[in-house]
Amino acid sequence: MLDRANDRSGQEQHMNYKFIFTVFTPTYNRAKTLGRVYASLSAQTFRDFEWLVIDDGSTDGTELLIHTWEKEARFPIRYIWQSNQGKHTAFNRAVQEARGALFLPFDSDDACVPNTLERFYYHWQNIPRAERSRFSAVTVLSKDQEGRLIGRAFPRQIIDSDPIEIRYKYKMKGEKWGFHRTEVLKEFPFPARADLSFVPEGIIWSKIARKFKTRFVNEILRVYYQDFTGTTNQLSRTKPASKDAQGMVFWHQTKLNEEIGWFLYSPWTFFLSAVHYSRFSFHAGISMLNQLTRLDNLPRVLWLIFSPIGFVVFLRDKKFRV
């Protein structure tokens, strides 16, 4: 087992964190799958980490299960229960509670390979120390429970880029996974708005991308579980379109206003965002005038062209209760 408590870079020492990693798991009624996370962490070759579990109002015995593991685990576990407020609020709280310099979200129904933290730390340390302050994250690949790569590999073994460029220039799709520096996440919390019960994570990753770089590595460390129909078994399962409409409006508005400079790389992406922006706006009860005024000049043109399609999709949602 590797214990790097006395082998930290100057950056982590300066932050005065207790651990290298905080592994954060948000959970809601996932007692049946949390064992995957616990087993994965128990098998880690790298021991300088804590497991922080934020329970967003579970009623299925999750608390008792975690307390049982606390007594036997060879690593520190911290369990925090809160009333159901949404994953984004659990994430914000975990960032504030974290005692690790590097913050790794680990979903409650996933698993990872035994040397995951060791490899993450290796790749982080391989970023030259003089350049490390410009970086926020290391991101790797995922496989399903059958061992098949999910999505596409990166075009090179290592790419220093950001999530926006990776999405538009390199056309990367599929499940990726990685950590961020805790200090960076404190600088970019999820918005705490009463009207947002759901906030797409991409909103935050894109904001971070405008200031910090990410090291993308072609190494598979995460096991992303899928059911037999090929759909994901994640907390973010498909919901009725109206359920999280405000959050989806926020996401597509952000893409249209703040990422429109990438239009020529992927125009179809922005066409779809214009459709979904109007679609979810109708679900959220946002007037046509309000939809228009929330957008900048070029996104307004796209909205004018594609809002009729968005309205048709909205009507389809209502008819079929999608």
Which pLDDT score is estimated for 127? 98
The rounded average pLDDT for each run of 10 residues, N- to C-terminus, in the chain (322 residues) is 49 71 96 97 98 95 96 97 89 97 96 98 97 98 95 96 95 93 97 82 95 98 77 46 90 96 96 98 97 97 97 94 76
For residue 228, with 0-12 CB atoms within 10 Å meaning exposed, 13-18 middle and 19 or more buried, which class applies?
exposed
Which pLDDT score is estimated for 233? 39
pTM of the model: 0.90
The total of other beta-carbon atoms located within 10 Å of residue 112's CB is 27
Fold classification of 10-223 (topology level)? Spore Coat Polysaccharide Biosynthesis Protein SpsA; Chain A (3.90.550)
Which pLDDT score is estimated for 181? 98
Let me know: does 190 contact 205? Beta carbons within 8 Å: no
Which pLDDT score is estimated for 1? 56
Measured CA to CA, the distance from residue 93 to residue 251 in angstroms comes to 21
Residue by residue, DSSP assigns 121-134 as: HHHHHTS-GGGGGG
Which pLDDT score is estimated for 259? 97
Dig out the tokens for 184 from the structure: 């960076």
Let me know: does 190 contact 88? Beta carbons within 8 Å: yes
Q: Could you state, in order of their start, the residue ranges of all structural domains in the chain?
A: 10-223, 245-320
DSSP reduced 3-state for 7: coil
Measured CA to CA, the distance from residue 267 to residue 248 in angstroms comes to 19
Which pLDDT score is estimated for 6? 43
